[in-house]
Homo-oligomer: A and B are copies of this chain.
Amino acid sequence: MTERLVLHEYSASGNCYKVRLTAALVGKPLDRREYDIMKGETQTPDFLANVNSNGRIPVLQVGDRFIPESNAAAYYVAEGSNLVPTDPFDHADMLRWMFWEQYNHEPNIATLRFWMRYVGPDGLNDLQRAQMPGKRQAGNAALRLMDEHLRQREWFVGKSISIADVCLFAYSHVAGDAEFNLASYPAVTAWLERIKGHPHYIAMTA
């Protein structure tokens, strides 16, 4: 695969970091184009018509075609590498954690982080404020489920790192930004350190 890959992104987003970290781990070059979501740069007519009609980043550009959705973009970048298991059960189990991340983890931990760190308390409306305790509880339930799973294993699927780990790492390692107490989840903390110790690891700010 030699086509040029361009990541359309907002670099502070953990969803965008998933794709960058995947590319680093598999050694693929990735061009980057930054949009300021706080200024509505992914809601312009040009972006909606030509990049993603859903108005969200990240979007991975492959030649002149586009793949929205962070976990699908990470999959594309990793395809054919050892980050994607070939055994059918392990492969489905990897997707299971990636779908779980989008349903049970990201809407709670990432959304709280965004509300608390980027929008700020004064920018939230009443409905958002009313949802915070539920998202706090669901975010802790997600971290607890991860912690229980990781007590018996080093990686989410099989015996080596996969993109399930990468996709779950993105918002787990910054959960403290949303005042989740990672020290309460020692197996998660140890797993975060294992990923940071990967020889090709790059930080979110890189």
* A residues neighboring B (CB under 8 Å): 1, 53-54, 62, 65, 67-73, 75-76, 79-80, 88-89, 91-93, 95-96, 98-100, 102-104, 106-107, 127, 130-131, 134, 145, 148-149
Q: A92-B72, A131-B127 are in contact. Are A103 and B100 (CB under 8 A)?
A: no
CB-defined contacts of A131 to chain B, threshold 8 Å: 127, 131
- In the bound complex, how far is the Cα of B84 from the Cα of A171, in angstroms? 29
Query: Which of these, B54, B79, B99, contacts A92 with CB under 8 Å?
Result: B79
- Selected A-B contacts with CB under 8 Å, 18 pairs: A1-B88, A54-B100, A54-B145, A62-B89, A67-B89, A67-B92, A68-B96, A68-B100, A72-B93, A72-B96, A72-B99, A73-B96, A76-B92, A80-B88, A98-B99, A99-B102, A102-B103, A127-B130
Supposing A76-B92, A92-B79, A131-B127 touch, asked if A53 and B145 sit within 8 A by C-beta, the answer is: yes
A73 to B99 alpha-carbon distance, docked (Å): 11
Return A148 CB to nearest CB of chain B, in Å. Answer: 6
Query: Would A92 and B75 count as touching, CB distance under 8 A?
Result: yes
